[in-house]
Chain A
Amino acid sequence: MFTTGLRQSTKIQTRLRRYLREGLVLLLAFFFLIPVIWVVLSSFKPNAELFLIPPSVLPKEPTLENYQSALTVGNFANYTWNSFFVATMSTLIALLTNSMAAFALAKYRFVGRQALFLLTLATIMIPLQVIMVPIFLVLRNLGLTDTLWGIIIPPAATPTGVFLLRQYMLSIPDEILESARIDGASEWAIYWRIILPLSIPALATLAIFSFTWRWNDFIWPFIVISSEQNATLQLALARLVGQFGVDWSTLLAATTITLLPMLIVFLLLQRYFLGNLMAGSVKG
């Protein structure tokens, strides 16, 4: 009787300690996220409330007027469309070209395969920051400066994507390809009808990451886009901050618009981000 009581109380104690620990880490995570939470909360405050001392935690009179002015006067509807168009097109091109290259690297033996694979890996190491100047000149010679295609096409050949897809395709058995060849399927049909459908998990991973990278890209548009109408969200935000006397109410709403799609993608698909699949790879 006595011993069971004791056992029970230590059981309760360990459980209590566990709950306390869980609560503590959650509280820490909440504090960690204050910079983001504060931007989102502030974006719903009318201009006068933004600079109150002491600051109001929750908006006293929540309003959408900041969003209205950001989208219309601030032209952020246009920037949102540009960002969406760029991220979508660049991702589609990446899926197609990366998977074609990955298919060849995984399933054919040809002269130069090893060299090409090493070259692909090597380009992971070349960050945009290092080739800003010459890439601007290349794009200018091609007439791609200040066009959306100038920021869509160059980053589409993601080496990480080729690598990821190749590793995945290596696990597809060659027998499937051979029997399709015997049935008279063309090589393109093998790629399009067999390899691609079987690679959907890897393609989905690449699509998520590519869209995130391109949505968040800043240096590309910063170098390539000079006009107002072709600016992406990231570029427009940076330009707004750079102005003398920052218009915070527009800026905060615009920032929330910019981070919202990433937040949704992340919360829905967080296992892709937190899983070990891509954890070791460099961003880019």
Chain B
Amino acid sequence: MIVGYRFSKKVIPYLFVAPNTLIFGVFVILPMFYGLLYSFYEGTFIEGLERFTGLENYQRLLRDQAFISSLVHTFAYVVAVVSLVVMFSLMLALALRASSMGSALARIGFYLPVILSPVVVGVAWRWMFSSDLGVINGVLVSMGHSPIPWLTDINWARAVVVLASVWAMTGFYMVIFIGGLNTIPSELYQAAEVDGANSTQQFWKITLPLLAPTTLLVTILATINSFKAFEIILVLTNGGPGDATRLLVQNIYQTAFDASNPTYASAQSVVLFSVLMLLTFWQLRITRED
């Protein structure tokens, strides 16, 4: 009786964690190890793993023009998006941190794109910037200007893709920045005021240095999210014109499902995963220090 009770008492916590752990295990942990395994093999979706090839997939990456260009595009995209996101979200946080009615409403407005799905964001921006049908060219034409090939010119397409991504993310980081600003003690500003420091000096000497941990956190989070970018671009340009806006995740998808090369795609996934892991560990170290 008592033995049975003790036994069941020991088992109970495991029963409670079982369902969640099962789903985790089957759909996250297991696929992760599979993915790593596949990257050392050659195979297809139909035949399965056919041959152990060691590091061949990885060696092939170094010579693969499509992969390298998607990697380069991804880095350029990440740098552009992250720097703009950090700048804009900080500016918004500074402008809208007050608890007034107007600021509160504006915060809601600037946050709103965050809750839209990336597909909806892509459709909305495509509807604005479509070359022959979009409202922006409509306005330009009616003012006597010639239409701009927003989504079919390499440079314009890249710019629109970056802006759409920034638009969708900024509100999220604005909220984090406001949280960071609120931790700065107001006595510091009062003291600076007494010492005759103007608001520009206060920004550079108090706000920015004390906000540094938040800024770093926002930078890393935005970097992680930008490396994963896929859906907005898929809808806006489908990676085009040519491959001008095709990023890493789209390249992985196309390698796996369009070119039916899941093992080679797995090697690319491992590269992406390593980058994200490094960034996440960095982020965790910062949040722990906080």
* Complex Cα gap A211–B31 (Å): 24
How many cross-chain pairs have Cβ atoms below 8 Å apart between A and B?
Answer: 261
**A89 at interface (Cβ–Cβ under 8 A)?**
no
- Chain A positions within 8 Å of B76 at CB level: none
B265 touches A104 (CB 8 A): no
Of all chain B residues, the one with the shortest Cβ separation from A22 is B102
**A36 at interface (Cβ–Cβ under 8 A)?**
yes
**A67 at interface (Cβ–Cβ under 8 A)?**
no
* Complex Cα gap A34–B253 (Å): 32
**Segment at the interface with A among B58-66, B190-198, B272-280:** B272-280
**B83 at interface (Cβ–Cβ under 8 A)?**
no
Known: A120-B24, A273-B111, A280-B176. A131 touches B35 (CB 8 A): yes
B256 touches A274 (CB 8 A): no
* Complex Cα gap A159–B23 (Å): 11
Interface 1/0 per residue, B146-178 and A, CB below 8 Å: 000000000000000000000100001001100
B38 touches A134 (CB 8 A): yes
**A279 at interface (Cβ–Cβ under 8 A)?**
yes
Interface 1/0 per residue, A51-64 and B, CB below 8 Å: 11111000000000
User: Of B100, B115, B167, B231, which one neighbours A273 at CB under 8 angstroms?
Assistant: B115
**A48 at interface (Cβ–Cβ under 8 A)?**
no
**A130 at interface (Cβ–Cβ under 8 A)?**
yes
Residues of B70-119 whose CB lies within 8 A of A = 95-96, 100-103, 105-119
A125 touches B276 (CB 8 A): yes
- Chain A positions within 8 Å of B280 at CB level: 125
B7: min CB distance to chain A, Å: 13
Q: For A54, A129, A241, which residue has the most chain B Cβ atoms within 10 angstroms?
A: A129
**B32 at interface (Cβ–Cβ under 8 A)?**
yes
Known: A218-B231, A241-B122, A274-B108. A153 touches B27 (CB 8 A): yes
B127 touches A39 (CB 8 A): yes
User: Of B28, B117, B224, which one neighbours A216 at CB under 8 angstroms?
Assistant: B117
B19 touches A130 (CB 8 A): no
**B138 at interface (Cβ–Cβ under 8 A)?**
yes
**B135 at interface (Cβ–Cβ under 8 A)?**
yes
Give the size category of A's interface with B.
35 or more
B23 touches A25 (CB 8 A): no
**B55 at interface (Cβ–Cβ under 8 A)?**
no
* Complex Cα gap A105–B18 (Å): 12
* Complex Cα gap A130–B194 (Å): 54
A126 touches B32 (CB 8 A): yes
* Complex Cα gap A96–B22 (Å): 13
B87: min CB distance to chain A, Å: 15
Known: A131-B31, A137-B34. A116 touches B12 (CB 8 A): no
Interface 1/0 per residue, A204-238 and B, CB below 8 Å: 00000000100111110001000000000010011
B residues engaging A (CB < 8 A)?
9-10, 12-14, 16-17, 19-21, 23-24, 26-32, 34-35, 38, 45, 95-96, 100-103, 105-128, 133, 135, 138-139, 141-142, 167, 172, 175-176, 179, 217, 221, 224-225, 228, 230-231, 234-235, 238, 249, 252-253, 256-257, 262, 265-266, 269, 272-273, 276-277, 280, 287
| Shortest 4 CB-CB contacts between residues of A and residues of B | A22-B102, A29-B109, A216-B117, A54-B142
CB pairs A–B below 8 angstroms (8 shown): A32-B167, A97-B23, A101-B21, A138-B27, A248-B133, A273-B111, A280-B179, A280-B217
